[in-house]
Amino acid sequence: MTKMLRIVSSATAVLVLAGCASAPQIAKGEFGPRPAIAELVAPKETGMMFFRNGENCSQQMIPSEEVIKESNGKYIPLPPGEKIALIAIYSSVEGLATLNYCRSVAVFTPEENTHYALSLQVKSDKCLSQLQSREKDTYGEWEIVEDVDWRKFKTPMFSDGEFCEPSGVKPNYYLNQTGPINIYVPRP
């Protein structure tokens, strides 16, 4: 049984990495001299995805090694004036078969020279999400971003597919949804 779990885990890691490797990388300076930036404020089991196309959460981009080093892995640059999507994904495994997860999707248009923080709080039965902003490189007060279109996460067939759909309201992100682990396969 243990050997089988290792094989499944290894195969999953390879497929997930293959999907991520196909996403375009954000080069240093790509979004101009005063890009917006985003960070994730969430439990350590949470990751963040960035999509250039905010309409349907497609065109995923990942930071280049140079961009990661510049920010010490703390934030990613965002293109000001473009409708983009940030997705926070929390997941943890309990025992052998229980996967707890929730996914928060924020679609908005970043402003130049602005620092954004997508927060995800994990409670006993749900995840609470919020997007805040302040002027970049300052220690001013964080303000809640009101102009956010909270979307419903959807699992695409391929890694370059659509990861969200309009919901009309801010969805409740419930925790303790047990289901299959999503594997995103790159297109051939």
Helices (H), 49-179: 65-70
What pLDDT band is residue 160 in, cutting at 50, 70 and 90? confident
50-107 per-position pLDDT tens digit: 999 999 999 988 888 888 888 888 888 999 999 999 999 888 877 776 777 888 899 9
Q: Give the mean pLDDT of the chain.
A: 77
pLDDT of residue 175: 55
The CB density around residue 54, as the number of other CB atoms within 10 Å, is: 22
| pLDDT score for 172 | 60
Tokens matching residue 66? 């140079």
Q: Which of 19-28, 148-157, 171-180 is predicted most confidently? A: 148-157
Closest CA to 65 of 17, 29, 27: 27
User: Ranked by mean pLDDT, which of 64-68, 114-118, 171-175 comes out on top?
Assistant: 114-118
Q: What is the DSSP string of 14-41?
A: HHHHHHHHTSPEEPTTTT-SS-EEEEEE
142 pLDDT exceeds 90?
yes
Cα separation of the two ends of the chain: 32
Per-residue CA distances from 129 to 63, 82, 87, 178, 188 (Å): 23, 22, 10, 20, 35
Kindly report the length of the chain. 188
pTM recorded for the entire structure = 0.76
